[in-house]
């Protein structure tokens, strides 16, 4: 029992230890550099406390995080709603694949961030363009992952279902889709971190709120501590998003537990 508990606590202890080591390293480096160049961890902490009490650009710092999260999650849900069915369909049906893949292959190599200028031209600098960028980023990953997952479903499974008299619909929903869930979940993970990166890029290019705005504001005001607080916040929120998705995966695909 203690051994198992120790095994579960070990990674957490290691991460904490390595973070502490990092902060110590940072402290030592900041002692020997210009404080305007690299502020010490203490100064960044003070700045964080200050930012949590005074609004930036008229809004609370947590409200900024909320704005970014809302954009990411809206885009993410749309990408799931449209991307997963499309990818699964492409993997299952040859005709569907042949219709969609040339257009998809044409647009796929363009990084989502390169869509920012045209998205602003189409949808304005407001919410629309930012949600669109995040959507493009996560949509492509979701389609690719569900498509390849579907293509690599063991044909033996489908044949077995067919020989037990399963209808085409049953083969799809009861056999093929559960079989490619691991690949879908990998896609969901990557798509979420991609969306988080895209919202940041979109907010850096032009926004009045959001986490990207905090760091760009820090740059405009020439305040490195503020930028660092923003960066740390971005890292923490990103890790929390990934962790919550891992938790969802464990709840939804319990048969993959040994691999997680």
Partner 1 sequence: MQTSPDGASSPVSLEVEKTGYLAAAAREHWISVVSLILFLVIWELICRFEIIGPYQLVPPSEILGVFVDKLSEPNPDGALLQQHAWASLSLALAGFGAAVCIGVPLGLLMGWYKPVNLLVRPLFDAVRPIPPIAWIPIAILWLGIGMHAKAFIIFLAAFVPCVINSYTGIRLTNPVLIRVARIYGASNFETFRKIGVPSAIPMVFTGIKLSLNAAWTTLVAAELLAASQGLGYMIQLGRRLARPDIIIVGMLAIGLLGALMSWGLTRIEARFASSRRLS
Instruction: List residues near partner 1 by CB under 8 A.
Output: 15, 17-22, 25, 37, 94-95, 98-103, 106-118, 120-122, 193, 196-197, 200-201, 204-205, 212, 215-216, 218-219, 222, 224, 227-228, 230-232, 234-236, 238-239
The least distance separating partner 1 from the CB of residue 4, rounded to whole angstroms, comes to: 23
**Tokens 């740390």 sit on residue:** 232
Considering the complex, state which of residue 62 and residue 110 has its C-beta at the smaller distance from partner 1.
110
The least distance separating partner 1 from the CB of residue 62, rounded to whole angstroms, comes to: 18
Calpha distance 155→18 (Å, rounded) = 45
Considering the complex, state which of residue 140 and residue 184 has its C-beta at the smaller distance from partner 1.
140
Considering the complex, state which of residue 170 and residue 178 has its C-beta at the smaller distance from partner 1.
170
Tokens at residue 155, please?
């044909």
The least distance separating partner 1 from the CB of residue 119, rounded to whole angstroms, comes to: 9
* Closest C-alpha among 167, 171, 143 to residue 155: 171
* Closest C-alpha among 97, 92, 96, 80 to residue 140: 80
Considering the complex, state which of residue 63 and residue 201 has its C-beta at the smaller distance from partner 1.
201
CA distances from 101 to 107, 121, 144, 198, 217 (A): 10, 27, 10, 24, 41
The least distance separating partner 1 from the CB of residue 1, rounded to whole angstroms, comes to: 29
What residues contact residue 198 under an 8 Å CB cut-off, 6+ apart?
75, 112, 113, 133, 134, 136, 137, 138
The least distance separating partner 1 from the CB of residue 77, rounded to whole angstroms, comes to: 21
| Residue environment code for 105-125, b if the CB has 16+ CB neighbours within 10 A, otherwise e | eeeeeeebbebbeebbeeeee
């Amino acid at each position: 029992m203690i051994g198992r508990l120790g095994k579960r606590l070990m990674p957490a202890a290691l991460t904490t230890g390595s973070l502490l080591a990092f902060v110590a390293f940072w402290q030592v480096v900041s002692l020997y550099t210009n404080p305007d160049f690299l502020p010490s961890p203490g100064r960044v902490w003070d700045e964080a406390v200050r930012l949590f009490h005074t609004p930036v650009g008229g809004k609370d710092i947590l409200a900024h995080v909320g704005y970014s999260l809302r954009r990411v999650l809206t885009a993410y849900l749309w990408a799931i709603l449209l991307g997963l069915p499309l990818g699964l369909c492409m993997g299952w049906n040859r005709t569907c694949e042949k219709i969609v893949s040339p257009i998809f292959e044409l647009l796929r190599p363009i990084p989502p961030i390169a869509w920012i200028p045209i998205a602003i031209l189409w949808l304005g600098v407001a919410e629309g363009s930012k949600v669109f960028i995040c959507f493009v980023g996560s949509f492509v990953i979701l389609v690719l992952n569900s498509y390849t997952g579907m293509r690599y479903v063991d044909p033996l499974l489908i044949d077995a279902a067919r020989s037990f008299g399963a209808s085409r619909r049953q083969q799809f929903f009861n056999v093929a889709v559960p079989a490619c869930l691991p690949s879908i979940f990998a896609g969901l993970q990557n798509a979420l971190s991609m969306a988080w990166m895209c919202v940041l890029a979109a907010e850096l290019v032009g926004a009045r709120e959001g986490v990207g705005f905090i760091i760009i504001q820090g740059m405009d005001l020439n305040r490195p501590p503020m930028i660092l607080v923003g960066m740390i916040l971005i890292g923490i929120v990103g890790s929390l998003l990934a962790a919550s998705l891992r938790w969802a995966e464990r709840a939804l695909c319990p048969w993959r537990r040994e691999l997680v």
